[in-house]
Chain A
Amino acid sequence: MSKITSTLLLSSALALAANTVSADTLDSVKSKGFVQCGVSTGLPGFSNADKSGNWKGLDVDVCRAVAAATLGDASKVKFTPLTAKERFTALQSGEIDMLSRNTTWTLTRDASLGLNFAGVNYYDGQGFMVKKNLGVKSALELDGAAVCIQSGTTTELNLADYFRENGMKYKAITYDTSDATVKGFEAGRCDVLTSDQSQLYALRIKLKDPKSAIVLPEVISKEPLGPVVRQGDDKWFNIVKWSLFAMVNAEEMGVTSKNVDSMKNSKNPAIARLMGGQGEKLGLSDDWSYNIIKQVGNYGESFERNVGMGSPLKISRGLNALWKKGGLQYAPPIR
């Protein structure tokens, strides 16, 4: 099939799907009693199932927050594990209500797939991991380094760009899978391993001695990851968007799952607004944000529990710190 025909076929199929699924997602969620959420088939700290089959992770918490906001119960989520290739179809065809699966927000995806990105719950980007004993503190000291990299990915191109831009030389040592890159790194075939930062931390645990390597602070590409909904259902779009914003706002105001009950009577007007009075505008009950914070926690809690210091991954907040603390996490005010 020629490329044009296949593109036509695909886009007509997508247009068909975009037309057919236009029902009110909130109504359907309320009537079936659960949120159907698309997640990955296993990405450490973002969405993975534990020993007893419960889904956990930063992406999973967004689904749970939406369930808490709409149904008042964070456990009323059904998860559909999706591979990277089927994720958008599953959303377009109405198989899932929302997609929270480490999906990078790009123009093409936002504009041509009939989808809307409802915010960014993790600012990812390509980074570097080096052996600690090299004493390297910045990626700019990596001139002449041998770099382990997974072949056929955009990381390869980003790497070339970054080194050319900074007038440095490198020797690429390519592997087929990310696991193989770790083995190469461990065996000393290269000084540096490059991949998306969120992955680097997971790969680091796979080293025999995880403490022997550090992740450098530099991020050389933009990979904003966030939840996605179907286009054309603005009510649902708003709910997902503000569920995420409520978590970030709660962290900013210091409301946590532990102190949320006492904060209910707070004199601070911003906190009072966060705790109630705004639900109606979203088509939700008044305790929507209380339920999110009580049952899922604020953004910081979710971060630390799943990928941060409270988890084996030990990812530092970095870009994902609040804007007040030098990061990028910034939520519009709830008022």
Chain B
Amino acid sequence: MSKTSYAVGEHPDLEPPASTIGVIGWLRENLFSNWWNSLLTLFGFYLIYLYLPPLVEWMFVKAVWSSPDRVPCDAEGAGACWAFIDNRFTQFMYGFYPKELYWRPNTAGLLLIALMIPLFIKSFRWKWQLGAFILLVYPFIAFVLIHGGYLGFELVETNKWGGLMLTLILSAVGIVASLPIGIVLALGRRSTMPIVKSVCVVYIEFWRGVPLITVLFMSSVMLPLFFPEGTDFDKLARAMIGIIMFQSAYMAEVVRGGLQAIPKGQYEAAASLGLTYWKSMGLIILPQALKLVIPGIVNTFIALFKDTTLVLIIGLFDLLAIIQQANSDPEWLGFDTEGYVFAGLIFWIFCFSMSRYSIALEQKLHTGHKR
């Protein structure tokens, strides 16, 4: 062993011990830091070993990707039958919407995306105007396109709508309508005017107190009995109204949470500037309050998106219901698992995107108030 000597303070920094850096170091720190964690790690690996290979084999390796009939899926040792999804894909997307008219919902969807893009461009000037256009004018354009019956567009009744299209329509309408109604209700609940306040409290507590399934059920089963003869109030419209009523009550409570988190000084500051109620709310309180509750709002949106599947109990074919319906085709019986995996994947994609968007939004609006 050679011994090198250094002057005081001249000793160079030594490499860290090999066992604390690189792959080994990471493994030691994160997976095998003590005997108990090591045991859990090994157990985890064992579970992965047990379940992952068969899953991959079923989902990908031995899967049947496309076939006009079920014969290859019935073969010995065949994996997932994605051919079932493949065969029914357009039905899962559009329901029973007439094939030759698919371009109409497609146009409506693309138009919405095209209109939304400028909203994400920082230097775009007319954001307010465009936003108002999307909220106030676009719904009519979309309605004429998808529903038809005006301007020479052939009528497609709502009982033909279905699949992912219906899920998106239901949740978009629910989301767009419930936020403003929710804000108004939240402000109303904090109002000092007794009648406004009690109306809002009663509304919120009533709608929050009943399960959504009951609301939908009432709207589809009981309501038609009370209408006069010949009134044909569209089932989808009834369900939409039910969903909006229900979700706006939840939204109101989320927004109220935000309003209560704003320090009293802000309210007083707004008042001392001589702002009217609406100005102080619109310029000072709500921008701060809504920013605070973005996670809560998005949470409600995601819940709403998934809750739309409940419409299957009133015979509307949203994405999940149309998949279940397809499972009842005698030609393709027995591929429920594939259908549910597919539905799960689609729902996950949408919910995950919403969640990522909300994180991006939070960071964009971050003004240093976070702790």
Fill in one digit per residue for B310-354: 1 if any A CB lies within 8 Å of its CB, else 0: 001111010001001111111101101000000000000000000
CB pair A42 B324 closer than 8 Å:
yes
Residues of chain A within 8 A (CB-CB) of B11 are none
Fill in one digit per residue for A9-43: 1 if any B CB lies within 8 Å of its CB, else 0: 00001101100110100000000000000000111
Residues of chain A within 8 A (CB-CB) of B95 are 53
Which of the residues B96, B224, B334, B336 comes within 8 Å of A53, measured between beta carbons? B96
User: In the complex, A61 Cα to B93 Cα: how many Å?
Assistant: 27
Which of B220, B225, B324, B329 gathers the greatest number of chain A CB atoms within 10 Å?
B225
Check if A90 is an interface residue, CB within 8 A of chain B.
yes
Residues of chain A within 8 A (CB-CB) of B313 are 83, 85
CB pair A80 B226 closer than 8 Å:
no
Contacting B at CB under 8 A, from A219-249, are none
Residues of chain A within 8 A (CB-CB) of B312 are 41
User: In the complex, A50 Cα to B91 Cα: how many Å?
Assistant: 10
Check if B1 is an interface residue, CB within 8 A of chain A.
no
CB pair A51 B228 closer than 8 Å:
no
Report A177 CB to chain B, min CB distance, Å: 10
Report A188 CB to chain B, min CB distance, Å: 18
Residues of chain B within 8 A (CB-CB) of A17 are 224-225
CB pair A85 B221 closer than 8 Å:
yes
Which of the residues B87, B333, B336 comes within 8 Å of A312, measured between beta carbons? B333
Report A187 CB to chain B, min CB distance, Å: 15
Which of A17, A81, A311 gathers the greatest number of chain B CB atoms within 10 Å?
A81
CB pair B225 A16 closer than 8 Å:
yes
Interface residues on B, range: 35 or more
CB pair A53 B91 closer than 8 Å:
yes
Contacting A at CB under 8 A, from B139-186, are 159-160
CB pair A45 B96 closer than 8 Å:
no
Closest to A13 in B: B225
Contacting A at CB under 8 A, from B195-222, are 217, 220-222
Closest to A55 in B: B96
Which of the residues B160, B221, B327 comes within 8 Å of A86, measured between beta carbons? B221
Which of the residues B324, B326, B330 comes within 8 Å of A311, measured between beta carbons? B330
Which of B160, B226, B314, B329 gathers the greatest number of chain A CB atoms within 10 Å?
B329
User: In the complex, A16 Cα to B228 Cα: how many Å?
Assistant: 9
Check if B229 is an interface residue, CB within 8 A of chain A.
yes
Report A310 CB to chain B, min CB distance, Å: 11
User: In the complex, A274 Cα to B365 Cα: how many Å?
Assistant: 78
Residues of chain B within 8 A (CB-CB) of A207 are 334
CB pair B229 A23 closer than 8 Å:
yes
CB pair A43 B225 closer than 8 Å:
no
Check if B15 is an interface residue, CB within 8 A of chain A.
no
Fill in one digit per residue for A80-99: 1 if any B CB lies within 8 Å of its CB, else 0: 11110110011011110000
- When A21-B229, A23-B229, A95-B232 are in contact, do A205 and B330 touch as well, CB less than 8 Å? yes
CB pair B225 A92 closer than 8 Å:
yes
Check if A72 is an interface residue, CB within 8 A of chain B.
no
Check if B99 is an interface residue, CB within 8 A of chain A.
yes
CB pair B225 A49 closer than 8 Å:
no
- When A83-B313, A206-B333 are in contact, do A49 and B325 touch as well, CB less than 8 Å? yes
Check if B88 is an interface residue, CB within 8 A of chain A.
yes
Report B73 CB to chain A, min CB distance, Å: 11
Which of the residues B220, B230, B315, B330 comes within 8 Å of A94, measured between beta carbons? B230
- Residues of A within 8 A of B (CB-CB), count: 40
CB pair A13 B222 closer than 8 Å:
yes
Report A61 CB to chain B, min CB distance, Å: 14
Check if A77 is an interface residue, CB within 8 A of chain B.
no
CB pair A80 B159 closer than 8 Å:
yes
Which of the residues B96, B315, B329 comes within 8 Å of A83, measured between beta carbons? B315
Report B90 CB to chain A, min CB distance, Å: 9
Check if B124 is an interface residue, CB within 8 A of chain A.
no
Residues of chain B within 8 A (CB-CB) of A95 are 224, 232
Residues of chain B within 8 A (CB-CB) of A13 are 222, 225-226
User: In the complex, A3 Cα to B325 Cα: how many Å?
Assistant: 34
Check if B227 is an interface residue, CB within 8 A of chain A.
yes
CB pair B225 A89 closer than 8 Å:
yes
User: In the complex, A45 Cα to B230 Cα: how many Å?
Assistant: 33
CB pair A51 B87 closer than 8 Å:
yes
Closest to A48 in B: B328
Report B259 CB to chain A, min CB distance, Å: 35
Given A21-B229, A44-B333, A83-B315, 4 other A-B contacts at CB below 8 A?
Answer: A23-B229, A42-B324, A42-B325, A83-B313
Task: Name B's A-contacting residues (CB within 8 A).
Answer: 87-88, 91, 95-96, 99, 159-160, 217, 220-222, 224-230, 232, 312-315, 317, 321, 324-331, 333-334, 336
Task: Name A's B-contacting residues (CB within 8 A).
Answer: 13-14, 16-17, 20-21, 23, 41-45, 48-53, 78, 80-83, 85-86, 89-90, 92-95, 179, 202, 205-207, 307, 311-313
